[in-house]
Structure 1
Amino acid sequence: MKTKYWIWIGAVLAAGAAAAAAWVIQPAIAPIQPPAANDFDSAAIARGARVVAQGDCMVCHTAAAGAPYAGGLPLRTPFGTIYTTNITPDPATGIGNWSLSAFTRALRHGVSRDGHLLYPAFPYIHYTRMSTVDIEDAYAYLMTRTPVVATAPDNDLLLPLRFRPMLAGWNLLYLRPGPVADNPAQTAEWNRGRYLVDGAGHCASCHSTLGPIGGERSPAFSGGNIDGWDAPALTALLQAPKPWTREQLALYLRHGWSPEHGAAAGPMGPVAHSLSLVPEADSNAIATYIMSLQTPARPAPAATAAATDKTAVVQGATLFAGACASCHGAAAPMMANGGRPSLALSTAVNSERPDNLIQIVLNGVPWSHPDQHTFMPPFAASLTDAQIASIAAYVRADIGKRAAWNDVEQRTAKIRKENQQ
């Protein structure tokens, strides 16, 4: 009996080793001559622009002050820094000599044209779910962008992770190649929303916690952290002080602002801008799917003043009056005439951690494009860590009516340092 047991274990291990080897040993796909722009159908290019916007590709593949899609943006991970690659059609440093089959393999299987395995910071575990048509259209769009000569800096990773064949084991655990069939029990809009959320949108990449080796933990959408910002749980939108509705979420996704919940900030700002470039039906479908994932609403806590450091609250009230009230005070024109929600409804104010409120005060909400609905100047240069902590104490206790956060000043100092790095 024991002999049979060990034979079975050996067979499983052998099968796993063979599968891993299959991932590691990936052949190069021959380079091609860069195709001309007129080799692609104009309708396919237009559809590809929509797909690329759904995936927010330009944001990750564009460095600060860099050319669009030329890569070089540093992505901080628990394992080090990964720099995004050039996906313009430059043949030497971009994807200009990639065939459609090479491009498809990268999205479906996480393998580069030359056969090396890609790091899962590139969310191919989600892109694999994209349809063949969408991948073809995205290829047409990217291959008709302006070529840019740009080589990304070398990744700065922990030594063992520089050995890319190790990614074969990661793929065995987390990659399930190929699209997922529609659910016939759901509406066409729901299926479209799931396709966008789980595919090109790769929402779980930010809104899920990551395990020890960087894989998304189950359940998905239970909240995560990206670039020092907390990404809230997408399954708890009914727990907000004012529960989200499908209509409010669709508006927020499309415009980066909701009159009942506030403005998108941090990494979510560029996502909302990208979604503003796609048809309204896409944001509606995403909202329909996400709202179907909600856990039941819990009774709201009593709106009582939080027990906190009264001195900090008093100091914060004074600072708030001088630095913030002209925009966020109840009588401010932006609030009274602009239909802006009270800070009491803000996700940053009601979060279990102060990180997002700290980030917003430090960095503001930069003005990045003409159609943006919100702007806030940064206060990193004008407020100390202690002053930001006092403002946070006041906003949390007096406006939000929530229990105090702990160690906000220390957390502010840490976030400021990380941002500078």
Structure 2
Amino acid sequence: MARSPRIIAGIVAVALVVGAAAAFAMVWRPAIAAIEPPSPASFDPAVVKRGRELAALGNCNNCHTRRDGQDFAGGLPVPTPFGVVFSSNITPDPQTGIGRWSEAAFGRAMSTGVNREGQHLYPTFPYDHFTNVTDEDDRALYAFLMTRPPVHAVAPRNELVFPLDQRPIIAGWKLLFLRRETFQPDPAKSAEWNRGAYLVDGLAHCGACHTPRNALGAERVRAQFAGGEADNWRAYALNDRAHAPVPWNAESLYAYLRHGWHPDHGTARGPMAEVVSNLSTVPDSDVRAIAIYMADVSGAPKPERNRVAVLAQAESAPAQGDPTGGAIYAAACAACHESGRPLPYGGVNLALSTAVTSPDARNLANIILAGVPAVAGERSPIMPGFAASMTDAQVASLLNYLRARFSKEPPWADVEKTIADARRTQTALLQTSAGPRDAPADPSQRDQP
């Protein structure tokens, strides 16, 4: 009997050793040897050109470039519920960028979220989508990035709460949420549909913004495209729960993604404006494929929800809502939004605006406060911002009036808090159709690497 405690202790010790070994195996990843930075001339120009298109589809420039920084040099703060993560430098600088990364190291980062040194990357870098990217496309992206000008720039230290500031913790997150399977085409669907699915679920990572997240920051798989958040903007639902007064179809999605506006839906704003700016530089076939896939995700629109019916209903509805908001609308908004001037240079009829019918008021508050700044050197939509000329109480009255006048939805809650949040965030940095940083200004040069 005296030997029993020793046996039990031995079993416990063995279990602890095995558990520690398993944990180590789960967390540890080997470093990949550094290389001498390859010469830009060593890459096939055709592959570099394809890589540039893929980088635009992935919106890489907007996450990896600080507002006042150099292209792809990182340092952009990405707020999360757990603190701030700063994007990394992905220029070929050998000290602070990826200049000493091999193609294999780059591919591992894309597919498993582990950097060259063997450290786990935070999932603000959406490798949970990039697992779907083919090796061929990874190679093209690598070629493009390694031919960019190197920039020596050290990203600020992440500002995360303990213990999430310890990278080994991310291995546990991956064990729970990182799906290792790659994209598999659906043989029952068209080639265009499958191309769109590959791009949306992979490099374009649309669900990263348009899907709600759970308490640990992972996308809720069963609520794919049910709406999410990005930079204090509401990323609207894209599935059958979409709140657009006139439902999207393949043609309207294509026009919106290609040109940044559609007469039934208005102009792109906030982070989405940056996305469509990049999409303006990629092959037309890829944009159309995305539209075809997403239209199928949204489902067939109901015939009674069409532009004519929505506008007729709005015109026949009795005037209602906050009278102070109505007076502000008449003085500051109606001249453009009721002018009948076509988009993108006229204001959208607000009965067609998803911002008015959305579950919360944040997008409409953002656009009222920040407006739509003109883009230097090109014709573009423009709207003045009213942050300096309206008080929070006036903005609240206007929001409440617009909700009551142009939608059948119930009043928004916590409008005052929404406005205060909008004033605090970077709505003043709102972009509309600014040219993407990695695209040539002259469209005739887009065939060049």
TM-score, normalising length from structure 1? 0.89
Name the SS of the counterpart of 1:75 in structure 2.
strand
Which of 65, 74, 78 is the aligned partner of 1:75? 78
Q: Distance in 1 between matches of 2:129 and 2:178?
A: 9
Match of 1:246 among 244, 250, 253: 250
> 2 CA distance for matches of 1:418 and 1:59?
17
Kept in 1: contact 2:319–2:405 (CA 8 A): no
SS class of match (1:293): helix
CA displacement at 1:238 relative to structure 2: 6.4
The residue correspondences of 1:69-148 to structure 2 (distance < 5 A) are 69-148=72-151
Residue by residue over 1:393-418, the C-alpha shift from the partner in whole angstroms, topping out at 9 and shown as x without a partner, is: 22222233543223312321233234
User: In structure 2, what is the Cα distance between the partners aligned to 1:108 and 1:37?
Assistant: 24
Match of 2:10 in 1: none
Q: Which residue of 2 is the match for residue 226 of structure 1?
A: 230
Is the contact made by 1:259 and 1:340 (CA closer than 8 Å) also made in structure 2? no
Counterpart AA for 1:342: N
> Could you tell me which amino acid in structure 1 is paired with residue 233 of structure 2?
W
Deviation track 1:251-287 (CA, whole Å, cap 9, x = no partner) reads 1111111111111111111011111110111111011
Candidates 279, 284, 288, aligned match of 2:283: 279
Partner of 1:394: 401
**Contact kept? 2:243, 2:358, Cα under 8 Å:** no
Q: Is the 8 A contact 2:369 2:427 kept in 1?
A: no
Note the C-alpha offset of 1:372. Answer: 6.7
Give the 5 Å matches for 1:307-326: 310=321, 313-326=322-335
Bigger mean CA deviation after superposition, 116-125 or 176-185: 176-185
Alpha-carbon contact 1:256-1:373 (below 8 Å) kept: no
> 1:266, 1:365 within 8 Å by CA — same for their partners in 2?
no
- Amino acid paired to 1:231: A
CA deviations on 1:311-332 (whole Å, 9 max, x unpaired) are xx2111222233223322x126
Contact 1:111 1:117 in 2 (8 A): yes
Q: Distance in 1 between matches of 2:253 and 2:156?
A: 38
- Inter-partner Cα distance in structure 2 for 1:100 and 1:107: 11
Aligned to 1:341: 348
C-alpha distance in structure 2 between counterparts of 1:30 and 1:60, whole Å: 27
Contact 2:38 2:146 in 1 (8 A): yes
Task: Pick closer, same or farther for the CA change 1:398–1:166 going to 2, 3 Å.
Answer: same
Percent identity, aligned pairs only? Answer: 48
Kindly provide the amino acid, as one letter, of the partner of residue 405 in structure 2.
D
Q: Please show how residues 171-186 of structure 1 align to structure 2 within 5 Å.
A: 171-186=174-189
Q: Which structure ranks higher in relative contact order (CA pairs < 8 Å, sequence separation ≥ 6)?
A: 2
**1:40 counterpart = 2:39:** no
- Structure 2 counterpart SS, 1:191: helix
Q: Which shows bigger deviation, 396-405 or 129-138?
A: 396-405
Distance 1:280 1:296, change over 3 A: closer
Q: CA deviation at 1:233?
A: 0.9
Q: Write out aligned runs for 1:28-67 (5 A).
A: 28-67=31-70
The 1:207–1:98 alpha-carbon spacing in structure 2 relative to 1, beyond 3 Å, is: same
Q: Does 1:293 align with 2:297?
A: yes
Moved more, 406-415 or 206-215: 406-415
Q: 1:142 to 1:368 in 2, by over 3 A?
A: farther
Separation of aligned partners in 1, 2:379 and 2:154: 31
Structure 1 residue 367: deviation in Å? 3.7
Alignment CA distance shift 1:306-1:51 (3 Å): farther
Partner of 2:445: none
Q: Is the partner of 1:34 in helix, strand or coil?
A: coil
**Equivalent residues of 2:35, 2:102 under 8 A apart:** yes
Residue 334 of structure 1, CA deviation: 5.5
Q: d(CA) in 2 for partners of 1:306 and 1:29?
A: 68
Partner Cα separation in structure 1 for residue 163 and residue 157 of structure 2: 15
How many residues are matched?
405
- Secondary structure of 2:75's counterpart equals coil
Contact 1:305 1:402 in 2 (8 A): no
Cα distance, 1:192–1:359 mapped onto 2, change above 3 Å: same
Tell me what 1:6 maps to: none
Q: Do the aligned partners of 2:51 and 2:142 also contact (CA within 8 Å) in 1?
A: yes
Cα–Cα, structure 1 residues 21 and 404, in superposed 2: closer, same or farther, change >3 Å? same
Give unpaired runs (5+ residues) of structure 1. Answer: 1-12
Measure, in 2, the Cα distance between the counterparts of 1:88 and 1:413.
37
Give the AA of the match of 1:268: M
Does 2:278 correspond to 1:269? no
Structure 2 vs 1, CA of residues 125 and 15 (structure 1 numbering), >3 Å: closer, same or farther? farther
The structure-2 alpha-carbon separation of the partners of 1:224 and 1:217, relative to structure 1 and needing over 3 Å to count, comes to same
Deviation per CA, 1:358-389, whole angstroms, max 9, x where unpaired? 11112222345756742323222221111111
Larger radius of gyration: 2
**Following the alignment from structure 1 to structure 2, what is the Cα–Cα distance between the partners of residues 123 and 37?**
27
Q: Structure 2 CA distance, aligned partners of 1:73 and 1:238?
A: 30
Contact 2:345 2:382 in 1 (8 A): no
State the alpha-carbon separation in 1 of the partners of residues 283 and 54 from structure 2. 11
**What's the offset of the Cα at 1:170?**
0.8
Distance in structure 2 (CA, Å) of the matches to 1:171 and 1:399: 44
| 1:151 maps to 2:160 | no
* Alpha-carbon displacement from aligned partner over 1:109-130 (angstroms, at most 9, x marks no partner): 0001111000000000111110
Q: Which amino acid aligns with 1:99?
A: S
Would you say the 8 A contact 2:255–2:261 is kept in 1?
yes
Identify the residue that residue 352 of structure 1 maps to in structure 2: 359
TM-score (norm: length of structure 2): 0.84
Structure 2 distance, partners of 1:369, 1:161, is 41
Offset from partner CA, 1:28-61 (integer Å, 9 cap, x none): 1111111111010000000000110010000000
Deviations 1:179-228 (A, max 9, x none): 32211111100110000000000011001111111110022111111111
- Against the structure 1 CA distance between its residues 48 and 321, is the aligned structure 2 distance closer, same or farther, given a 3 Å change threshold? same
Whether the 8 Å contact between 2:357 and 2:403 is mirrored in structure 1 is: yes
> In 2, distance between residues paired with 1:147 and 1:367?
31
Q: Structure 1 CA distance, aligned partners of 2:17 and 2:258?
A: 49
